[in-house]
């Protein structure tokens, strides 16, 4: 048994194979970079896959305008450090209409500034493949998603009509306008991700580590007051608490957890005793059990 | 290790995590029919290994009340039944992947449905699995499905089987019943190549012998399911096998570095290894192996690396590197077990894209040796292959490629088939062997070639391919075009659908398979005539895009002119020059194009000719004008000189 590759090495090799396959088979691929831990691992794997060359595709960040400030500075540093091309896209109509999570709610905001924005960007640049950092263990409808997930010319996903995917043979054929979403981290779990970050010493946004931060308790979640666009409602008080984030997104929609885990081993220890799944910190998943599947059919990642 | 103790120091955590990093991975597949309790078993494994978080448990309790099938209890199956539609129907509809881990191993579970799409989905799940858990309901014993599951697992090369006899609580934990089922399985036959078969009596619903030993079956002394999964030695045959490296990407950041990136399909490579390109036979020596950001001394099966060679030899994506003395077969023809995965049947003569390793070629089905009945394992002759059917088939390929038998190599011996029009994955293949027939017939190089013949005829050869419904006017227009070309001194020949069916193709009927073969032969004849220097006018309904594409692929750039004679069916029916529509409408002719057999109109023909309300002469003039524009005949109507060729 000692002859077998370890779990992490097997996952790493599989992901690199997928990333290279996309680069070799598609005319115009792009890597969706969302700044979070999964994106960071995916980017690290892409750097390895083509070393000593740079990845032969740009990164793209769909910026809703409501990301944590620390995410944006981390993004810019990372791109500069690695010498990569980054495309930033924000839905111009949504921006003009002033769409925001406070006034329009999480589902309208997510639909317009994330799902629609992503579709706009894919169409605008004519990308025929887009990497995403989604994992199958995140959520039930993701468990059935292919590694190469076909999207129609209108970017929709049909869960009942997916291409069979066998061995490590991925079907990269698409007609004009159609595209593939490629998920190199499909078989990783949250624990695998953290173990790999530890083993490879991959830089992370500081928000993952506990620190004193100003938060408000709202709808049962701790929301960080990241800038003055957040209006404090009557009865709410801003408190400084030692918190961290298990998942990152738009700050008004992302719940913090109270924690004093300020180092990677401390985070891992916390994870090993955790009793809630990571997506529970995301407002958008709470709507109902089938909400993610609906979003995905419409073109959400 | 108990981490509920908050006092555990960071050092203890780090030691634990480091130990975890060396654990390995087991991929397995669960199969069973609809009510065997497959989803419940996976739910049980996730639940018992504590991978269900509190928020998921709360959601599960909510869902159990809404969709559950076990009364007030938590329905563990709902943990894994993902999509909305299947929740409502109470069945899983596709392949889903689940994850759990113990201190010894990480597990990836492929969950595949037990209903009619089972072959396609199970084969998909099995293709990456090391082991299969076959579920049997203790009350019903072995079913037809169990035979299928065992057959497909064996066909896909799974070497380790667990026969999980579930719902043992419903037969009073009876040892007799369990022994009987175990004996029945051993007596299945089928020449399976399993290395281990372990039977375990379980109750997925109550947890007996799944992760903890049952107190209710003292007669059972074997391991629990989880113990077995944690310890079964699935070996690593791939590393011991011959070295194979399908080149995925040529890595060339600058003039100083040229590497070949890919994943080792099998074997071992070290710095200093001698390697050979299978197809060309060119050899070199490995000077560097780059794994991630580091140089390493060696790499083995499953690792994704970049190889640097001493010599600059011609290598590109799709090439396979091997050791010089252990080379794969290189052939342009192969036989394979094929699982068909599309609604439209696999047809002899039709061409598909075949992706094997990192190479994609065109493959034409040349023969179906036999179908295999997955329930009885019997072989039967076959004309075509329908969804979920399995056959032994022979393909001819557009180019010679490196091939291993699937039994020897799961990576270089497996392929998928892709439909050229829809781009769907329509089949999966496991190579039995490279066929030698083609490799013994070498192309005869001829001194007088197509250019020379065309020059002596002082014209540019081409195929004018007229397609359209019966009665659309194809033959009428083709005949006028030929007369005009003849008057200009061109050398022409008309291949007419009806006429060819009286001779060359008189053995063919009108089934889909025969229609494909009909067109294949005509396409090959057209190619020969073009090679002879002629302008060929093909007048065939040729209803399928795939075959017209095949004809196009046989010819050189600019030699194939697709002319769509676009006459609506109502007009054709009105004309009905041969009285065929009247007969078809009366039910006297079956498989009539446009009535009970489809016509796939060209999407981007070189020329579309409308005929309604027009003189056939005018339509023919459209064709001639196009030929002049395309430079196939001279614009001034005179014969080309040699320089025009």
The predicted-structure confidence for B368-420, as pLDDT tens digits, reads as follows: 999 999 888 899 999 899 999 999 999 999 889 999 999 999 999 999 999 98
**B542 included as an active-site residue:** yes
Domain assignment present for B23: yes
B69, B197: one domain: yes
B414 and B454: one domain? no
CB-CB under 8 Å, B24 with A189: no
pLDDT of residue B586: 86
Are residues B300 and B377 both part of a single domain? no
Check CB contact of A192 with chain B, cutoff 8 Å. Answer: yes
- CB spacing of A192 vs B106 below 8 angstroms: yes
pLDDT band at B12 (very low <50, low <70, confident <90, very high): confident
What range defines the domain where residue B173 resides?
Answer: 10-231
Residue B502 has what pLDDT? Answer: 86
**B432 lies in some domain:** no
pLDDT tens for each residue of B311-340: 999 999 999 999 988 999 999 999 999 999
Type and span of the H or E element at B251: strand B249-254
State the pLDDT at residue A284: 47
Give the pLDDT confidence of A82-102 residue by residue, as tens digits.
Answer: 999 999 999 999 999 999 999
Q: Is B206 exposed, middle or buried (0-12, 13-18, 19+ CB in 10 A)?
A: middle
User: Does any domain span residue B443?
Assistant: no
DSSP reduced 3-state for B84: helix
The span from the CA of B43 to the CA of B78, in Å, is: 8
Which pLDDT value is given to residue B190? 66
**Residue of A6, A169, A175 with shortest CB distance to B414:** A169
Last residue of a domain, one of B170, B202, B231: B231
- What is the CATH classification number for the domain harbouring B591? 3.40.50.300
DSSP A79: H
Chosen from A2, A6, A7 to mutate, greatest number of chain B CBs within 10 A: A7
Q: How far is B295 from chain A (nearest CA, A)?
A: 11
Q: Name the closest residue on chain A to residue B308, using Cα atoms.
A: A52
**Model pLDDT, residue B91:** 45
pLDDT band at A198 (very low <50, low <70, confident <90, very high): very high
Model confidence at B92, in pLDDT bands (50, 70, 90)?
Answer: very low
B262: which 2 tokens? 């890919």
User: What is the CA B204 to chain-centroid distance, rounded?
Assistant: 34
- B3 belongs to a structural domain: no
Please tell me the distance in Å from A113's CA to the nearest CA on chain B.
Answer: 25
Same domain, B289 and B391: no
Q: Per-residue pLDDT for B55 more than 80?
A: no
Residues A116-138 pLDDT 10s: 999 999 999 999 999 999 999 88
Q: Euclidean distance between the first and final Cα of chain B, in Å?
A: 81
Q: Which two tokens stand for residue B187?
A: 């007596």
Intra-chain end-to-end CA distance of chain A, in Å: 37
Distance between CA atoms of residues A289 and B78, nearest Å: 11
Last residue of a domain, one of B199, B231, B263: B231
ipTM: 0.91
Per-residue pLDDT at B634: 76
Q: What are the residue ranges of helices labelled H in B491-568?
A: 497-502, 512-531, 545-554
Which residues neighbour B71 within 8 Å (Cβ) at sequence distance 6 or greater?
A: none
Rounded Cα distance between B189 and A279, Å, is 48
What structural domains does chain A harbor? 7-193+290-298 (3.40.50.620), 203-285 (no CATH)
Q: Which of residues B175, B205, B231 is at a domain's end?
A: B231
Mean of the pLDDT values across residues B615-640? Answer: 80
B273 Cβ contact partners less than 8 Å away, ≥ 6 residues apart: B243, B285, B286, B323
Q: Please, what is the average pLDDT of chain A?
A: 90
In a domain, B176, yes or no: yes
What mean pLDDT comes out for the span B161-178? 96
- At residue B74, the pLDDT reads 66
Phi and psi dihedrals of B632, rounded to 5? -80, -35
Could you give the CA distance from residue B128 to residue B244 in angstroms, rounded to a whole number?
A: 18
Same domain, B319 and B339: no
Same domain, B344 and B484: no
Which of A234, A231, A235, A237 minimizes the C-alpha distance to A215?
A: A237
> Chain A contacts of B303, Cβ < 8 Å?
5, 9, 13
Looking at residue A20, its pLDDT comes to 98
Domain co-membership, B319 together with B345: no
User: Is residue B269 a contact partner of residue B289, using CB atoms and an 8 Å limit?
Assistant: yes
Same domain, B372 and B472: no
Worst-scoring range by mean pLDDT, A58-67, A104-113, B55-64, B509-518? B55-64
pLDDT computed for residue B578 by the predictor: 86
- Cα–Cα distance, B224 to B217 (Å, whole number): 12
In a domain, B4, yes or no: no
Beta strand A129-131 with A29-32: parallel, antiparallel or unpaired?
parallel
pLDDT at B644: 33
- Judge if B514 and B559 occupy the same domain: yes
Residue B60 token pair: 């599960």
b/e code B233-250 from CB counts within 10 Å (16+ = b): ebebbbbebbbbbbbbbb
Do B161 and B299 reside in the same domain of the chain? no
> How many domains does chain B fold into?
4
In a domain, B88, yes or no: yes
Closest residue of chain B to A263, computed from CA coordinates: B10
pLDDT score for B148? 86
Q: CB distance B98–A143 less than 8 Å? A: yes
Q: Which residue has the higher pLDDT, B87 or A150?
A: A150
- pLDDT attached to residue B594: 87
Q: What percent of chain B has pLDDT over 90?
A: 56
CA Rg, chain B, in Å?
31
Mean pLDDT of chain B: 87
| Integer CA distances (angstroms), A155 to A120, A171, A298, B421, in order | 10, 17, 7, 20
Q: How far off is chain B from A296, nearest CA to CA, in Å? A: 12
Q: How far is CA B24 from CA B65, B198, B447, B594, in A?
A: 38, 21, 61, 58
- Contact criterion met (CB < 8 Å) for A140 and B317: no
pLDDT of residue B8 exceeding 90: no
pLDDT of residue B639: 42
Query: Considering only CA atoms, which of B473, B457, B474, B454 is closest in space to residue B465?
Result: B474
CA dist B537 and B273 (Å) reads 56
Q: Give B447's pLDDT tier (boundaries 50, 70, 90).
A: low
B465 lies in the same domain as B602: yes
Cβ neighbours of B324 (radius 10 Å): 12
pLDDT of B7 reads 43
Which one is predicted more confidently, B498 or A135? A135
Answer yes or no: do B634 and B517 share one domain.
yes
Rounded-to-integer distance, Cα A255 and Cα A260, Å: 16
Q: What is the pLDDT of residues A18-27, one digit of tens each?
A: 999 999 999 9
Answer yes or no: do A160 and B85 touch at CB < 8 A. yes
Where residue B412 sits, what CATH number does that domain have?
Answer: 2.40.30.10
CB atoms within 10 A of CB B453: 16
Instruction: With a cut of 80, say whether residue B90 has pLDDT above it.
Output: no
User: Is pLDDT larger for residue A14 or for residue B595?
Assistant: A14
Q: What is the pLDDT of residues B545-581, one digit of tens each?
A: 988 998 998 888 889 999 999 999 999 999 988 888 9
B18 within some domain: yes
- The more confident residue out of B348 and A139 is B348
Give Cβ neighbours of residue A72 (< 8 Å, ≥ 6 apart).
A35, A63
> Are B10 and A263 inside 8 Å of each other by CB?
yes
H/E stretch holding A103 = helix A101-110
């Amino acid at each position: 048994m000692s002859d077998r590759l370890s779990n992490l090495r097997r996952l790493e090799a599989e992901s690199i194979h997928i990333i290279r396959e996309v680069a070799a088979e598609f005319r115009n691929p792009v890597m969706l970079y969302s700044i979070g831990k999964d994106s960071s691992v995916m980017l690290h794997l892409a750097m390895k896959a083509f070393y000593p060359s740079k990845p032969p595709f740009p990164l793209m960040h769909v910026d809703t305008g409501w990301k944590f400030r620390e995410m944006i500075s981390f993004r810019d540093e990372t791109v500069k450090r690695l010498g990569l091309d980054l495309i930033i896209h924000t839905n111009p109509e949504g921006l003009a209409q002033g769409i925001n999570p406070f006034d329009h709610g999480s589902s309208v905001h997510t639909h317009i500034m994330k799902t629609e924005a992503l579709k706009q960007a894919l169409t605008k640049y004519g990308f025929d493949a887009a990497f995403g950092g989604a994992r199958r263990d995140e959520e039930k409808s993701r468990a059935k998603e292919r590694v190469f997930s076909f999207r129609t010319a209108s970017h929709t996903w049909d869960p009942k009509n997916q291409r069979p995917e066998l061995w490590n043979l991925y079907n990269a054929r698409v007609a004009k306008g159609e595209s593939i979403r490629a998920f190199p981290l499909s078989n990783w779990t949250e624990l695998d991700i953290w173990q790999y970050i530890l083993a490879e010493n991959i830089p992370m946004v500081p928000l993952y580590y506990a620190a004193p931060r100003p938060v408000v308790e709202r709808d049962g979640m701790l929301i960080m007051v990241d800038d003055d666009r957040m209006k404090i409602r009557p009865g709410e008080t801003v408190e400084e608490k030692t918190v961290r984030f298990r998942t990152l997104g738009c700050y008004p929609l992302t719940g913090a957890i109270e924690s004093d885990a300020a180092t990677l081993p401390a985070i891992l220890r916390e994870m090993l005793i955790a009793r809630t799944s990571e997506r529970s910190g995301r407002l958008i998943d709470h709507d109902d059990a089938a909400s993610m599947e609906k979003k995905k059919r419409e073109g959400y990642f | 290790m108990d981490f509920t103790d908050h006092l555990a120091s960071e050092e203890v955590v780090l030691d634990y995590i480091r130990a975890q990093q060396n654990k390995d991975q087991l991929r397995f597949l669960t199969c069973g029919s609809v009510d065997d309790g497959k989803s419940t078993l996976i739910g049980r494994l996730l639940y018992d290994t504590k991978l269900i978080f509190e928020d998921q448990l709360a959601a599960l309790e909510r869902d159990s009340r809404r969709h559950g099938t076990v009364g007030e209890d938590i329905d563990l199956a709902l943990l894994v039944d993902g999509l909305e539609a299947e929740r409502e129907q109470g069945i899983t509809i596709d392949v889903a992947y689940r994850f759990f881990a113990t201190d010894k191993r990480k597990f990836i579970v492929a969950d595949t449905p037990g209903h009619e799409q089972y072959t396609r989905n199970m084969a998909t799940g099995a293709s990456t699995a090391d082991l299969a858990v076959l579920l049997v309901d203790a009350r019903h014993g072995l079913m037809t499905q169990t035979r299928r599951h065992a057959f497909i697992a064996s066909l896909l090369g799974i070497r380790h089987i667990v026969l999980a006899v579930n719902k043992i609580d419903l037969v009073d934990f009876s040892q007799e019943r369990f022994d009987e089922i175990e004996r029945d399985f051993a007596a299945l036959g089928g020449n399976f190549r399993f290395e281990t078969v372990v039977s375990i009596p379980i109750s997925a619903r109550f947890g007996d012998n799944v992760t903890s030993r049952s107190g209710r079956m003292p007669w059972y002394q074997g391991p629990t399911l989880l113990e077995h999964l944690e310890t079964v030695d699935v070996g690593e045959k791939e590393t011991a096998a011959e070295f194979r490296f399908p080149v995925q990407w040529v890595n060339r950041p600058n003039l100083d570095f040229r590497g070949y990136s890919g994943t080792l399909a099998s074997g071992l490579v070290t710095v200093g290894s001698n390697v050979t390109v299978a197809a060309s036979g060119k050899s070199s020596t490995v000077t560097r192996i780059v794994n991630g950001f580091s140089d390493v001394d060696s790499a083995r099966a499953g690792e994704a690396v970049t190889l640097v060679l001493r010599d600059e030899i011609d290598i590109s994506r799709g090439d396979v590197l091997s050791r010089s003395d252990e080379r794969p077969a290189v052939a342009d023809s192969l036989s394979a077990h094929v699982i068909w995965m599309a609604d439209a049947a696999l047809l002899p003569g039709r061409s598909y894209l075949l992706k094997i390793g990192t190479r994609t070629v065109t493959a034409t089905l040349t023969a179906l040796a036999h179908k295999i009945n997955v329930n009885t394992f019997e072989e039967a002759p076959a004309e075509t292959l329908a969804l979920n059917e399995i056959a032994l088939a022979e393909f001819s390929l557009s180019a010679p490629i490196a091939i291993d038998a699937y039994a020897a190599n799961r990576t270089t011996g497996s392929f998928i088939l892709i439909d050229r029009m829809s781009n769907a994955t329509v089949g999966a293949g496991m190579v039995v062997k490279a066929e030698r027939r083609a490799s013994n017939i070498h192309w005869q190089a001829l001194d007088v070639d197509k250019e020379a013949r065309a020059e002596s005829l002082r014209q540019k050869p081409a195929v004018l391919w007229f397609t359209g419904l019966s009665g659309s006017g194809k033959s009428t227009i083709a005949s006028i075009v030929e007369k005009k070309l003849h008057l200009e001194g061109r050398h022409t020949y008309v291949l007419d659908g009806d006429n060819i069916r009286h001779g060359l193709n008189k053995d063919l009927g009108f089934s889909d398979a025969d229609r494909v073969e009909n067109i294949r032969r005509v396409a090959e004849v057209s190619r020969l005539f073009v090679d002879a220097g002629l302008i060929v006018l093909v007048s065939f309904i040729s209803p399928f895009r795939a075959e017209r594409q095949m004809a196009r692929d046989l010819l050189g750039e600019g030699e194939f002119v697709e002319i769509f004679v676009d006459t609506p069916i109502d007009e054709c029916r009105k004309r009905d020059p041969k009285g065929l529509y009247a007969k078809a409408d009366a039910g006297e002719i079956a498989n009539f194009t446009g009535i009970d057999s489809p016509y796939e109109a060209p999407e981007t023909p070189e020329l579309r000719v409308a005929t309604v309300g027009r003189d056939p002469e005018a339509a023919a003039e459209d064709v001639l004008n196009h030929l002049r524009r395309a430079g196939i005949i001279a614009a001034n109507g005179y014969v080309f000189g040699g320089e025009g060729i």
